[in-house]
Amino acid sequence: MNGLLFFITTLGVFNGFILSSYLFFFTKNKTLSKYLMGAMIFCLSVRIGKSILLYFDPEIHKIYLQIGLSACLFIGPFLYFYLKSVLQNIKTFPQSWKSILIVLLSFIIVFGAVRPYHNFPEFWNSYMVLSIYIVWLISVVAAGLIMLPSFKKAMKKEETLNPSEKWLIAIYTANLIIATAFFMAFAGFPMAYYITGPIVFSFFLYLLAYGFFNNQLFDSEQHKVDLQFSNEKYANKKIESSEAESLLTQLNELMQKQALYTNPKLKLKEVAQAMDIPHHRLSQLLNDNLGKSYVAFVNEYRIEAACKLMSKEHDLSLEGVGYEVGFKSKSTFYSSFKKIKALTPAQYQQQIRATSS
State yes or no: pLDDT of 97 exceeds 80.
Answer: yes
- Number of domains forming the structure of the chain: 2
Rounded Cα distance between 284 and 160, Å, is 15
State yes or no: pLDDT of 216 exceeds 70.
Answer: no
Q: What is the CATH number of the domain that holds 20?
A: 1.20.1070
Task: Name which residue leads in pLDDT, 30 or 211.
Answer: 30
Yes or no: say if 69 and 129 are a contact pair by the CB < 8 Å rule.
Answer: yes
* Core vs surface per residue 92-114: b (16+ CB within 10 A) or e: eeeeebeebbeebeebbeebbee
Yes or no: say if 83 and 146 are a contact pair by the CB < 8 Å rule.
Answer: yes
Same-domain check for residues 88 and 199: yes
pLDDT band at 321 (very low <50, low <70, confident <90, very high): very high
Domain boundary among the residues 210, 231, 252 is at 231
Rounded Cα distance between 10 and 198, Å, is 8
Task: Render pLDDT for 150-181 as a digit per residue (tens, 0 to 9).
Answer: 888 777 755 556 667 778 888 898 889 888 88
Same-domain check for residues 46 and 113: yes
Q: Is 159 exposed, middle or buried (0-12, 13-18, 19+ CB in 10 A)?
A: middle
Domain region containing 12: 2-231
Same-domain check for residues 263 and 172: no
Domain boundary among the residues 205, 231, 257 is at 231
The mean pLDDT value for 72-82 works out to 95
Same-domain check for residues 45 and 182: yes
Same-domain check for residues 241 and 301: yes
Same-domain check for residues 10 and 118: yes
Same-domain check for residues 28 and 154: yes
Share of the chain above pLDDT 90, in %: 36
Same-domain check for residues 175 and 314: no
Same-domain check for residues 199 and 296: no
Same-domain check for residues 68 and 195: yes
Q: Return the DSSP state at 222.
A: S
Same-domain check for residues 103 and 211: yes
pLDDT band at 226 (very low <50, low <70, confident <90, very high): very low
Residue type present at position 174: A
Task: Name which residue leads in pLDDT, 354 or 77.
Answer: 77
Share of the chain above pLDDT 70, in %: 85
Domain boundary among the residues 231, 265, 282 is at 231
Rounded Cα distance between 270 and 137, Å, is 41
Same-domain check for residues 189 and 52: yes
Query: What pLDDT sits at residue 72?
Result: 94
Q: What is the CATH number of the domain that holds 312?
A: 1.10.10.60
- Cα dihedral 323, 326, 329, 331 sign: negative
